[in-house]
Amino acid sequence: MADFSNYLSPGRRGHLIGIGGVSMSSLAEVLKGMGIVVTGSDNNDSANVKALREKGIPVAIGHQAENIGDDVEFVVRTAAVHDDNPEIQWARWQGIPVFERTEAWGAISQGYHNALCIAGTHGKTTTTSMCTHILMAADRDPTVMIGGTLPLLNAGHRVGNGNTIVMEACEYYNSFLSFHPTVAVILNIEADHLDFFKDLEDVKRSFRMFAGRVPPDGCVVANRDDENTMRTLSDLNRKVVTFGMSPKADVYAENVRTIGASSKFDIYYKGRFFTDVVLHVPGLHNVKNALAATAAAICLGIRPNAVKYGLAGFNGAGRRFEFKGKFNGADVYDDYAHHPSELAALLDAVEQLNYKRTVLVFQPHTYTRTAALFENFVTQLKRPDVLLLAEIFAAREQNTIGISSAALAGRIEGSRFFPTFSQLEKELRQIAHPGDIILTVGAGDVYKIGENLVKDAK
């Protein structure tokens, strides 16, 4: 079996299928920065595709065998590209090795002295972004791979010259088991991606294997407040640094104060004051994310001032409580929350902001998740003052279950289901009032609704 690390040298030639995705476009730039000649293809033109072309990476729109040149030595595909893809079939016919995206990132991470990988059911993008801010403040010149856009980078990635790489590590399809972390962060563990995992115990086994990939001289950062995480890591033969909201954790917060959408708190490490922090994103969940990032920084030997100023400069990542603008006096925000626990954290944060009404526009993500966690979704979706439901975003799935957002609406008094975005947007235009917060929420394309409102308001 081919080893991707054998192709990580200047002058090698590779082709990336699905190159327009967040992680794949980042991978393309990292490979090009290493002196590898990169081409790619994608089903759709996009801002990422345009940016790649501007950087000298040819991208074909549409998948066909001719996109793979005679000099291509390897192919990397995104998870959405299956074996029946004509480029995959051609590559295999020609004997060209085909690698998964995570195999490529895993091989790249082995070239760094420090590989910081952030995993968990929730909070990965935000915590990876916080770690990036801290590493930049510490002048570590990191290479970065985030599953979202970070304003500091104006991208979801960065090619650095330092000896540290920081990467968001997703558990879906056991992707993170291709990584080689020297510091592994586990933020939390819950039942999710149940179209792949059998149950919660299966999820926990996967996270245990991820933690076990840390070398004996490495470090695992774990959420002391999360029972699933601590049980998963029990008796792990690795150094474990915990974080949490009580002194039972190694890294913990004291004197937490909420001031509008910001938080102020002191961070302690093993009972001693480490630094004070002002965090400009709302919610207790973000305080916990900051503690996780701090614990990771401690494992990397980063000084307190870099943590303090790195976190102070963090104002959120793309689609993570992202302010989009105003419409008819209402504030419009977008958030990626697509799991009941993420909805709970988001609504907890919003309730502290003293808006007159919370108007939630929710687009569930995948049929299997909606069905498996249906009652939990109902519990959280009853909380906002106004709930407007879009149809489920299918993503990678077919609706073999026969479920619809209409089923959620049927369980939540006063909610309304809209089969199309245009109908939902029309309703929003009629009900939006000054003093409201309008939240477009979900991992699909629901953000477009809020963007349309704000665009028309200008």
Same domain? 234 vs 281: yes
**Candidates 102, 124, 164, 182; catalytic one:** 124
Same domain? 208 vs 353: no
| Residue corresponding to tokens 């990965």 | 124
Same domain? 269 vs 150: yes
Asked whether residue 317 is assigned to any structural domain, the reply reads no
**Candidates 29, 87, 103, 168; catalytic one:** 168
The pLDDT tens digits of the residues spanning 310-341 come to 999 999 998 899 999 999 999 999 999 999 99
The CATH code of the domain that includes 423 is 3.90.190.20
Number of domains the chain contains: 3
Instruction: State residue 366 phi and psi, 5-degree precision.
Output: 75, 145
The CATH code of the domain that includes 201 is 3.40.1190.10
Catalytic residue list contains 125: yes
User: Is there a contact between 250 and 289 (Cβ–Cβ < 8 Å)?
Assistant: no
Of 312, 330, 350, the one marking the end of a domain is 312
Catalytic residue list contains 427: no
For residue 46, the model assigns a pLDDT of: 87
Residue 458 pLDDT greater than 80, yes or no: no
Q: How far apart are CA 435 and CA 331, in angstroms?
A: 8
The pLDDT tens digits of the residues spanning 140-184 come to 999 999 988 899 998 888 889 999 999 999 998 899 999 999 999
The pair of three-digit structure tokens given for residue 64, joined into one six-digit string: 């066909």
For residue 318, the model assigns a pLDDT of: 87
Asked whether residue 351 is assigned to any structural domain, the reply reads yes
**Candidates 121, 125, 149, 229; catalytic one:** 125
Domain with 379, as residue range(s), is 322-457
Same domain? 435 vs 327: yes
Residue 1 pLDDT greater than 90, yes or no: no
For residue 9, the model assigns a pLDDT of: 94
Of 312, 345, 363, the one marking the end of a domain is 312
Catalytic residue list contains 168: yes
Asked whether residue 134 is assigned to any structural domain, the reply reads yes
Residue 95 pLDDT greater than 70, yes or no: yes
Q: What's the alpha-carbon Rg for the chain, to the nearest Å?
A: 22
Summarize the confidence of residues 370-393 as an average pLDDT.
Answer: 97
Same domain? 246 vs 286: yes
